[in-house]
Structure 1
Amino acid sequence: MHRAEDLRAAPDSPHREVAVKTVLRGRTGIAVDTSGSTREFDRFRREVRIMRMLSQGHPNLTRLIDGGVDGTPGGSGLPYLAMELLDGHPLADLIDEEPQLPVSWVAAIGAQIAAGLTAAHTAGVVHRDLKPANVMLTSNGTVKILDFGMGSIVDDPDQTRLTSTGVSVGTARYMAPEQFRAEHVSGLADLYALGCILYELLVGQPPFSARTPYELSEQHQHSQPPLLTLVRPDLPVELVRLVDRLLEKKAELRPENAALLHDVLVPLAQAADDTAALLAPHWVAMDPVARLRTLLPERTPAAPVPVPRREPRLPETMDVFGIHADLINEYESFTKSATVFRDARIEGFVKDDLAAKSQWPDPWLSLNPFFADGGKVTDLVQEGLLHPKCAEIFQAGKKESSRRPDGRPLTFHLHQRQAIEAAQAGDSYVLTTGTGSGKSLAYIVPIVNHVLKERQAASLRAGGNGTGGRTEGGRVRAIVVYPMNALANSQLMELEKYLRHGFGAGQEPVTFARYTGQESEERRKELRKNPPDILLTNYVMLELMLTRPDDRSSLIRQERVV
Structure 2
Amino acid sequence: MSLHPIRALDYVIDEYRDYLRTEFRARDPKLRAALERELDAPGFLAQEPFFQAHRPFKSGKRWRDLPIDAQLARVMENRSKSETAYLHQSEAIEELLSPQAKPVVVTTGTGSGKTEAFLLPVIQNAFDDAMRFKRSGLTAILVYPMNALANDQKQRIEEYLAEAGFAGAVRVEQYDRGTPQAKREEMRANPPHILLTNYIVDFQIDSGKIFKLNWGNQLVEQRKFSF
Q: TM-score range by the shorter chain?
A: 0.5 to 0.7
Pair 1:475-2:137 in alignment: yes
Q: Does 1:510 align with 2:170?
A: yes
Larger of the two Rg values belongs to structure? 1
Q: Does 1:423 pair with 2:96? A: yes
Alpha-carbon offset, residue 454 of structure 1: 4.1
Cα distance in 1, alignment partners of residues 95 and 155 from structure 2: 26
Contact 2:130 2:169 in 1 (8 A): no
What TM-score do the two structures reach when normalised by structure 2?
0.58
Alignment-derived partner of residue 485 in structure 1: 147
- Of Structure 1 and Structure 2, which has the larger fraction of its residues in strand? 2
- In 2, the alpha carbon distance for the partners of 1:411 and 1:497 equals 20
Residue 495 of structure 1 aligns with which residue? 157
| Amino-acid identity (%) | 32
SS in 1 for 2:141: strand
Please tell me whether residue 375 in structure 1 is matched to residue 61 in structure 2.
yes
Structure 2 CA distance for partners of 1:440 and 1:478, relative to 1, 3 Å: same
Residue 542 of structure 1 and its aligned partner are, at CA, apart by 3.6
Correspondence for 1:436: 111
CA distance in structure 1 between the partners assigned to 2:170 and 2:222 by the alignment: 24
Partner of 1:412: 85
Once the two structures are superposed, residues 263-305 of structure 1 have per-residue CA deviations (whole angstroms, 9 ceiling, x without a partner) of xxxxxxxxxxxxxxxxxxxxxxxxxxxxxxxxxxxxxxxxxxx
What amino acid does structure 2 have at the position aligned with 1:483? Answer: P
Amino acid across the alignment from 1:387 = D
Task: Indicate conservation of the 8 Å contact 1:391/1:409, yes or no.
Answer: no
| 1:449 matches 2:131 | no
> Residue 368 and residue 553 in structure 1: after superposition, are their counterparts in 2 closer, same or farther (change >3 A)?
same
Answer yes or no: is the 8 Å Cα contact 1:480–1:536 preserved in 2.
yes
Shift of 1:445: 0.9
SS in 2 for 1:524: helix
Maintained 8 Å contact 1:528/1:551: no
Match of 1:543 in 2: 202
Q: How far 1:498 moved relative to its partner?
A: 0.3
Q: Which fold has the larger relative contact order, with Cα–Cα distance below 8 Å and residues 6 or more apart in sequence?
A: 2
- 1:25-61 CA distances to partner (integer Å, 9 max, x unpaired)? xxxxxxxxxxxxxxxxxxxxxxxxxxxxxxxxxxxxx
Equivalent position SS for 1:479: strand
After superposition, residues 338-417 of structure 1 pair within 5 angstroms as 368-380=54-66, 385-391=67-73, 394=76, 396=78, 411-417=84-90
Which residue of structure 2 lines up, in the alignment, with residue 12 of structure 1? none
* CA–CA distance in structure 1, aligned partners of residues 71 and 149 of structure 2: 26
Aligned residue for 1:440, secondary structure, equals helix
**3-state SS of paired residue (1:483):** coil
When the two chains are superposed, the root-mean-square deviation of aligned CA atoms in Å is 3.4
Q: 1:509 to 1:409 in 2, by over 3 A?
A: farther
User: What is the number of residues matched between the two proteins?
Assistant: 163
1:525 aligned to 182, 185, 194, which one?
185
The structural deviation recorded for 1:444 is 0.7
* TM-score, structure 1 as length reference: 0.26
Rate the CA distance shift 1:396–1:518 in 2: closer, same or farther, 3 A: farther
Taking the aligned partners of 1:544 and 1:530, their CA distance within structure 2 comes to 20
**Contact kept? 1:514, 1:536, Cα under 8 Å:** yes
1:84-106 CA distance string (max 9 Å, x none)? xxxxxxxxxxxxxxxxxxxxxxx
Match of 1:57 in 2: none
Task: Give distance in 1, aligned partners of 2:168 and 2:186.
Answer: 17
Is the alpha carbon distance of 1:408 and 1:527 closer, same or farther for their aligned partners in structure 2, counting shifts above 3 Å? farther
Paired residues of 2:71 and 2:164 also in contact (CA < 8 A): no
The answer (yes or no) to whether the contact 2:60–2:87 under 8 Å persists in 1 is yes
Unaligned runs of 5+ in 2: 1-49, 205-209, 213-220
Gaps of 5+ in 1: 1-363, 398-406, 460-469, 556-562
Aligned to 1:412, the other structure's residue is in SS state strand
1:424 to 1:510, Cα distance in 2 relative to 1, 3 A: same
Equivalent AA in structure 1 for residue 78 of structure 2: A
CA distance in 2, matches of 1:394, 1:552: 39
Residues 526 and 367 (structure 1), Cα distance of their counterparts in 2 relative to 1, 3 Å cut: farther
Structure 1 Cα separation of the partners of residues 223 and 152 of structure 2: 24
